[in-house]
Structure 1
Amino acid sequence: MVCVVCVPIVWTAIGRQRVRCIAVSRRHAASAVGEFTRASVSERLGCSNRTRSPGGRSLLRCRRVREHAGEQDEVLRMKLIRGLDIVHPLPGVMRALGMASVLLCVSALYALEIVSDAGDRNASRSGMYVGGIGAGGFEIRPDGGFYRCRMFNDWRPERDVDIYMIHRSTPDGTERVLRLRDVVMSHRVIRGVDRIRYTADFPSVSWSSPELPVRVEFRSFFIPGNVKDSALPAVQVRIRNDGDGEVTLVVPMPGPTRSVRRPGRIVSRSASGAVGIHAPGAFTLDAGDEFFIMGYPFVSCTWRGRVDEEAILAWYSPGMRDFDGRRIGCYYERFFRSCDDVLDYVTAHRERLAARAEEFRRGIRDAVLPESLKDAYGAQLASFVKQSWLSRRGDFGVWEGGLSSMGMQTLDIGGYGSWLYVNIFPELERSAIRLSARFQQADGWMPHTFPGTFERPEQPYWRLDLNLWFALMAARDAILWQDNAFLKRIYPTVKRAMRWSMRLDTDGDGIPNLDGRASCYDLWDWKGNSTYFASLTLGAAALWGGLARSLGDERFARECAALRDTVRDSMLRKLWNGEYFILWEKGEERDEGCLLDALPGEWYAMLLGRATGLPEQYVRSHIDACVKYNRRRFDPALMRDWGTPGEQGWCYTGAGYPDGRSYHFYQYEPWTGLEYTLALNLHLLGRTEQALKVVREVGERKLSCGMFFNHILCGGDYYQPMVIGALWERFAR
């Protein structure tokens, strides 16, 4: 028997963005704990005293007892149930049903939901991206608009695209468009709606309005382990009309065009590429002058009456060129020669593709994990699809920043972001790590990034931490994949890289010396020995000592072991101040900053089940200091470089000081990738409650300014926050 508790749901708001949670059943009661607003919960749940959340809402911190397969243990977790107001007298109900029979607000039906209106610009600053990996697509935002279209390989500049849904009522013929903005044509204006309810549930996004009987859903074919199907230039569209009248999907084309119709399908071709709609259940499929905006022709598809239909929207734009003008093509060109080919493949395999994509989506939503973590993971998966290049021959890279900022396969930032896909798409990570290895200099120096081409790295080589990041990533890949062939191929490159890095130690303490900005923190001057470089070295030496021994290279294994011991002792002697590891030291000079991610080598080793030899109590104390000194209220007057107007809440800055000083924007700005890394460190140390609190606070802050799906740094959609994938996999085990 499954007991379902029905709980009244009342909307509350974080600014103007509203998020809902649904209550369900006992079958998930094996774990998960919640924080519930305005609820008096029975003592049997072990609730603590009422506290206040950062946003001012009253919360209860609850302890729940798990009963599963005869095993009982107490699990304490934190979860924000945003927007849930329980106004029912629940304690008696809980006692009657029994402790293990009730679970509130942990539901596979939950999804991030945002309600926006015409007066709320914040909510529509970012949205879920749908499309294929390296195949293009578009971003759908909470205003119902389509942005950052890359169907036709428009990376510089990216353009918005006027895809929209029109509802034409009967019998008066009134037209409304399912977005907040009006559609302005040369001969008429179609008025937008006043409010939209938007649901992001990767890999799908849907939206509706209380003013219309229409709900629309777009879904990517995102299938872990299957690059071909995840890189399809196509999305699934679902149209539901619960009323009378007609619903029309309108898709613009960069004209002039030539359209071909066949039963249930229309494909329109232009010099830039082709767009096709396959919709057997549609009333009409059309193209031409009926829908013209700003001189662009459109293809359209109309459904009549009450319908719940699916369609496939596909595109085909061969011959993509890199920023040097070389033709690199898209990965899907290996399998398809036209838009019709794509539509034929998707329709022939529709059930399998849809089932696999749904299986992944349900895997996220069914997980008995905090919704803030699910939402953060889904948002970064969408950013991964948006920011990826995948050429016809299989070259792969993720852009470091938005609007084609910086470059692809940036080693230091990839050391964080690649955790998102290293397990679900090992083929892509293998391609990316090979790309970096291919451009190693003869002396061992590794490249930083690839500026819009796979044929040359950024010049000149000047950053000093890249070799260590490469060593960490290559060790991770070899250990996770248990791929001895990969290990043997990559080993000579890693060995050269590490020996190059060892030569940077000028004072014999094992730590590479840095005077200047030649690191990931490339606008911030450091001196001498830094904890960051020490930890990178310590982690790389600890990991590659064992791997070298497994390959029979005892000499290098001993070198790594000696380096590990030397660096560990130097860290404790030179960089430990009694509470945490300081930023850097050089002779009598010291910077007492507490860097948020000072110990990257440590969390790499911990994730891979290896030990660096750094005493755990020192690591714990440092992470405690990060929470103590780096957590602060977001300050819009100070945090202007990477902040967004309207952003508010708690953040964890790049580095903190006991005296609270703020002197460099790399130090006082929050990096969401480093915040997620802090959460990962906390979880690895068994501090799950604090880890989830960090994730929740980042999410609340980004929701407050409408940038939940686009973390600003280097142009936006930054690569580093994809490190949330490592935290997700730790929780989802």
Structure 2
Amino acid sequence: MVEYNSTDNVKAGLPLGGIGAGKVEINNKGKMVNLTIFNNWNKPLQIVRGFHVFIIPEDMEGFFVETQPSVLHMQDRGCELHYYGSYPFLRLVPYNRPQIEVTAFTALIPGKIEDSSLPAFGIRVRTNERKVVKVAISLPNLIGTSIRGRFNKEVDGGVMFLTENTSSIDPSYGDMTLITDKPLKIIPQNSINVDVNTTIKGGHSKIDFEDGNIWRRIERGDEIESIKGSARGMWDDFGGIVVADLKEGEAKFVVSWYFNNPWIYYPYRHFYATRFRNSLDVGEYFLKNFDEFYDNSKQFCKGDDSLPEWLIDSMCNSAYILSSSTWLDDKGRFSIFESPENFPVLGTIGGLTYEAGSLPVLLDFPELEKAFLTVLANAIDDSGYVPHDLGLFSLDAPLDGTTSPPRWKDLNPSFILLVYRYYKLTNDREFLEKIYPTLKAVLLWEVSRDRDGDGLPELEGTGDTSFDVTYIEGTDSYTSTLFLASLYAYREILNILKIEPSDYVDKLIERAEKSLSTMYNGKYFLAWKGLPDVGDALFLGQIIGLWWSITTGLPIFPEREKVISILNNICKVNGAASHICTPNLVSSDGKVISLSPQTEGSWPRLVMSLAPLAIEYEMDCLLEAVQKEWNTIVKDGMVWNQPSRINARTGVPDIYLDHYIGSPALWSVALFMKLNGNVKSTRNT
């Protein structure tokens, strides 16, 4: 479990919300931030006024479970917090206050996609102190782009947030609900704002403070009359408050939402809309199954005694992109943003993007992996070329690549391996048979990229792989090892289906192995043969083929002694080149090579992919490199918004690509262990 306190600089809170439903974050200061529930993945609502958790003891002043509440004359009623995160759970524990725990969680239940895609999260408030008797939670009305027409109404157990306006084009048209299992008092509609007179006399704007009178009246137990009518002006920021009984030591709340209008940035409808009519339906369903969801979501990321605790923490939390970055439409089509805010294309493959990002999906919701592969297969053109992604804010407008033309050389092998991996885990022969003609075209396209007949595809010096800002012309060890692994996978598929003999592929493998052997310099594979000349620099990308082989049970190339030599040199060269991270390209004397931002920094997802290799080959130094990368991510508050790359010299992350799709790369450990059974203990690291 990752631990912060409320003074730490945490870039993003742990996200809450089911697969494809958008997300809400509650950060380490107890604030609700960065909402994308309105189909606004690229432009989150950064801060929510009017969200509070207020604890009411019997013999002392009430307090907010947050730091520095902006509630007029109650700014001193906040508290410092411990913040614990283990996705999909977060826990807030106040310092120096009556013993209270506020736990928020997303329902993520392996094998149950219907319950794991709910637009909702649960909040459990617990105390073992008898003198803590009540808890109140408030939410603002955020429905509709315009304030005008917003209103709240009381429902069984809570408040529903609505608008009188109707729209088929407003992405924030819909509704939200806040309900509890033990309601003592429901205040459907109150004003969040301090009155205009007081505000402008004090030289303030309405966003500086919220009204504190309502909280003092709740604290005293006063009767409170709800405001009537709908919002008419811009000072009509309405909230709703639900007070629950804590005398038995626990209260449960659910926050749910329902926003199902297609628009330019989400031109579809939601999977959750196939089961529910509105947020009240969702909230009541979640509350009815609260305990079951809570307990079963603990199974989403199970620890393993053979693994060190930090590795389990990293693995569990790296799956955060399921809440922050996924789409699941009403047709059951699934995908993941490469970077929802700054590069919002869906389903990017190559360079351990979707291949790493979908690992928890593959393991816990394989039907979604099948759905994605089906959509991607349908996007492959007649030549057999696999696109870079499914489209910008789209599942239907595939793009060839960020630098295309020319077309990239690592996408087709990645697709073949994704299909094989899916089969390896599911034994879905019917799917394999159906997709085989496409796979054949994909392979033949890639083989045609071998211009000189040496058995390996050549790069054209135009950023034509996932290392797309790095000039490489010739044959590189990243693409070559990936291609060889895809040939192994294709041969396995032929043997499974028995559709045609494997002689042709056997010859391709023989030629590829022979040529790749010439790139081995006695210690590791050369970065590339061609331009620019980087001498004997060690390229971390060369592990990609080995990673695929280890995690899916394919043949391993080269032989074991050479693999161990490669990995040992990665520890000595790349692993020792920076105290911050493990950079992608390092000279044999330990100098980081600044050929491009991609070579002078690390790809955290690529470094994390060393973990199953460390376990297979019992190499503690590789796990130390993984732990170093993880420690940098934790220290810099990036656990739930991991970057695409980290600069090896400055430690400054490449925030350009936020919430990066490859974050869950460490789940390859879980895949490796599932397919290989128990492994030796690595707890000595």
TM-score normalised over the length of structure 1: 0.77
| Residues 414-454 of structure 1 deviation map (CA, whole Å, 9 limit, x = unaligned) | 12322232121111111111121111111111111121111
Q: 1:340 Cα shift?
A: 2.1
Cα offset, 1:594, TM superposition: 1.2
2:375 corresponds to which of 435, 446, 453: 435
Equivalent position to 2:188, from 287, 290, 293: 287
1:161-176 correspondence runs (5 A) = 161-162=48-49, 163-168=51-56, 174=61, 176=63
Change (3 A) 1:224 1:522: same
CA contact (8 A) 2:189 2:238 kept: yes
Relative to structure 2, which stretch is displaced further, 407-416 or 453-462?
453-462
Q: The residue matched to 1:622 in structure 2 has which SS?
A: helix
Matched residue type, 2:292 = R
Aligned to 1:252: 140
Decide whether aligned partners of structure 1 residues 116 and 633 sit closer, same or farther in structure 2, where only a CA change above 3 A counts.
farther
The secondary structure found in structure 2 opposite 1:652 is coil
Higher mean C-alpha displacement, 454-463 vs 310-319: 454-463
Partner residue of 1:451? 392
1:478 is aligned, of 423, 426, 438, to 423
Instruction: Give the C-alpha shift of residue 685 in structure 1.
Output: 2.3
- Structure 1 588/155 Cα, relative in aligned 2: closer, same or farther at 3 Å? closer
Q: Kindly tell me: are residues 715 and 568 of structure 1, through their superposed partners in 2, closer, same or farther at Cα, counting changes over 3 Å?
A: same
State how 1:372-387 maps to structure 2 within 5 Å: 372-387=310-325
The residue aligned with 1:488 is 433
Instruction: Report the alpha carbon displacement of residue 691 of structure 1 after superposing the two structures with TM.
Output: 4.1
| Counterpart position of 1:221 | 107
> Is 1:156 aligned with 2:42?
yes
> Does the alignment pair 1:206 with 2:91?
yes
Matched letter for residue 439 of structure 1:
A
Alignment CA distance shift 1:253-1:320 (3 Å): farther
| Structure 1 residues 112 and 464, CA gap change in structure 2 (3 angstroms) | same
- Matches for 1:526-675 after TM superposition, within 5 Å: 526-555=472-501, 557-573=502-518, 575-586=519-530, 591-632=535-576, 634=578, 649-659=579-589, 660-663=591-594, 664-675=596-607
The residue matched to 1:651 in structure 2 has which SS?
coil
Q: How far 1:353 moved relative to its partner?
A: 2.5
Write the mapping of 1:6-405 to structure 2, written as runs, cut at 5 A.
111-117=1-7, 120=8, 122=9, 124-160=10-46, 161-162=48-49, 163-168=51-56, 174=61, 176-184=63-71, 190-191=75-76, 193-213=78-98, 214-241=100-127, 242=129, 243-244=131-132, 246-254=134-142, 255=147, 256-270=149-163, 272-292=173-193, 294=207, 295=235, 296-303=237-244, 306=247, 307-323=249-265, 326=267, 328-360=268-300, 363-364=302-303, 367-403=305-341, 405=343
Contact map agreement 2:63 2:79 (CA 8 A) in 1: no
- Of the structure 1 ranges 191-200 and 129-138, higher mean CA displacement relative to structure 2 is found in 191-200
| Contact kept? 1:545, 1:558, Cα under 8 Å | no
The 3 A distance-change label for structure 1 pair 168 and 423 is closer
Give the corresponding residue for 1:702: 633
User: What are structure 1's unaligned runs of at least 5 residues?
Assistant: 1-110, 635-648
Comparing 346-355 and 396-405, the one that deviates more: 346-355
Shift in Å at residue 381 of structure 1?
Answer: 1.6
Which deviates further from its counterpart, 237-246 or 394-403?
237-246
Partner secondary structure for residue 535 of structure 1: helix
Rounded to whole Å, the distance in 2 between the matches of 1:287 and 1:262 is 9
State the alpha-carbon separation in 2 of the partners of residues 322 and 342 from structure 1: 26
Question: Do the aligned residues in 1 keep the contact of 2:550 with 2:672 (CA within 8 Å)?
Answer: no
CA RMSD in angstroms comes to 2.4
Cα distance per residue 1:266-286 (max 9 Å; x no partner): 212135221112213122122
Q: In the alignment, residue 554 of structure 1 is paired with which amino acid?
A: E
Change (3 A) 1:353 1:408: same
Q: Which moved more, 1:426-435 or 1:346-355?
A: 346-355
Decide which of 450, 455, 458 is 1:510's aligned counterpart: 455
**Distance in structure 2 (CA, Å) of the matches to 1:177 and 1:721:** 33
Query: 1 CA distance for matches of 2:319 and 2:329?
Result: 20
Q: CA contact under 8 A between 1:596 and 1:678: conserved in structure 2?
A: no
Deviation readout 1:64-116 (Å, 9 max, x if unpaired): xxxxxxxxxxxxxxxxxxxxxxxxxxxxxxxxxxxxxxxxxxxxxxx332223
Deviates more, 1:390-399 or 1:402-411: 402-411
Tell me, yes or no, if structure 1 residue 676 matches structure 2 residue 618.
no
Structure 2 unaligned spans of 5+: 166-172, 194-205, 208-234, 645-655, 678-685
Mark the CA change 1:130 to 1:290 in structure 2 (over 3 Å): closer, same or farther.
Answer: same
Take 1:661 and 1:165, find their aligned partners in 2: how far apart are those partners?
49
TM (normalized to structure 2)?
Answer: 0.82
In structure 2, give the amino acid aligned to 1:651.
Answer: C
CA distance in 2, matches of 1:258, 1:358: 37
Quote the Cα distance in structure 1 between the aligned partners of 2:381 and 2:300: 40
Amino acid at match of 2:632: R
Work out whether residues 413 and 482 of structure 2, in 8 Å CA contact, stay in contact via their aligned partners in 1.
Answer: yes
- How many angstroms does 1:198 deviate by? 0.9
- Could you say if the C-alpha distance between residues 709 and 112 of structure 1 is closer, same or farther in structure 2, counting changes exceeding 3 Å? same
Q: Of 398, 410, 413, which residue of structure 2 is paired with 1:465?
A: 410
Work out whether residues 550 and 613 of structure 2, in 8 Å CA contact, stay in contact via their aligned partners in 1: no
Q: Structure 2 CA distance, aligned partners of 1:613 and 1:627?
A: 19
Question: Could you tell me which of 643, 646, 661 is aligned with 1:712?
Answer: 643
Using a 3 Å threshold, how does the CA distance of structure 1 residues 166 and 344 change in structure 2: closer, same or farther?
closer
Give the conservation status (yes or no) of the 8 Å contact 1:193–1:209: no
Letter in 2 for 1:113: E
Once the two structures are TM-superposed, the CA of residue 144 in structure 1 deviates from its matched residue by: 1.6
CA contact (8 A) 1:653 1:667 kept: yes
In 2, distance between residues paired with 1:696 and 1:599?
Answer: 18
Aligned residue for 1:597, secondary structure, equals helix
Rounded Cα–Cα distance in structure 2 between residues aligned with 1:569 and 1:438? 34
CA gap of 1:509–1:559, structure 2 versus 1, over 3 A, is same
Percent identical pairs in the alignment equals 22
